[in-house]
A = this chain, B = another copy of it.
Amino acid sequence: MRSMKAILIYSGGLDSTTLLYDLISQGVDVDCLTFDYGQRHRREIASACEISTELGVRHDIVPLGGLTPFLESSGSSLVSDSDVPDCYYTDESAKRTVVPGRNLVMLSVAAAIAESRGITKVFYAAHSSDWSIYPDCRPEFYEAARQAIVLSSAWHPVDLVAPYIEMDKAAVVRRGVILGVPFEKTWSCYKGGDFPCGTCPTCVERLEAFEAAGFEDPTRYL
């Protein structure tokens, strides 16, 4: 039996690494795509490279640095000089970490690459803990983006799949534990220093998810 091929939008973070392990455990032949959009935490790309190399899956870095100057005026902490806030991940100030259109751009490019490779599925690891601050992680966005991708790819149909979209991050952690995900190699922190800060919204979300799941985060924080 020929195994199913899929493209995974792969940041090197906890969620997409768990999804990568999940797909592999299901026998899916995964091509990983990591997007370099000039993000402050480029450190995540190194994690993505390390983990995908160890797993022996195809991994490409998609260079979108040409877009970064166009996004600076958004004031997003991830693509401008604006500081990454230290706050709870559903606080109003966490909105400063939103990058305009990030998921839609990544999904569109991934779908275009899938179509070019004759691959029919694109996966992304959106989950419910991100719904409040990141509109492009919500089910209604996912459905619209999926529709757009399906309709755009009429001649070589591509579908979009977000298997964790109704799960919270604690559930993703629990799934990762079962799958043996090397959490210590994944990178979440938006500050992108040598060690994760433990205080930015995504570090706080991660720590809370481990606690809610009843496991210890093996990451060494600052």
Query: Which secondary structure dominates chain A's binding surface?
Result: helix
A38 at the binding interface (Cβ < 8 Å) = no
Name the contact of A101 in the complex, choosing from B100, B101, B109 (C-beta under 8 A).
Answer: B109
Q: Which of A150-207 contact B (CB under 8 A)?
A: 151-156
Complex interface: stretch among A9-17, A41-49, A135-143: A135-143
Copies of the polypeptide in the assembly: 2
Complex interface: stretch among A50-58, A62-70, A83-91: A62-70
A145 at the binding interface (Cβ < 8 Å) = yes
Measured CB to CB, the nearest residue on chain B to A118 is B73
Q: How far is the CA of A156 from the CA of B145 in the complex (A)?
A: 18
Q: Which residues of chain B are within 8 angstroms of A145 by Cβ–Cβ distance?
A: 148, 152
> Are the C-beta atoms of A152 and B104 separated by less than 8 Å?
yes
A18 at the binding interface (Cβ < 8 Å) = no
Q: A-side interface residues toward B, CB under 8 Å?
A: 60, 62-67, 70-74, 95, 98-105, 107-109, 111-113, 115-117, 135-136, 138, 140-141, 144-145, 147-149, 151-156
14 A-B pairs in the complex with CB atoms less than 8 angstroms apart: A60-B70, A62-B70, A66-B66, A67-B112, A71-B113, A73-B116, A100-B112, A100-B156, A101-B108, A101-B115, A107-B108, A135-B154, A138-B151, A144-B147
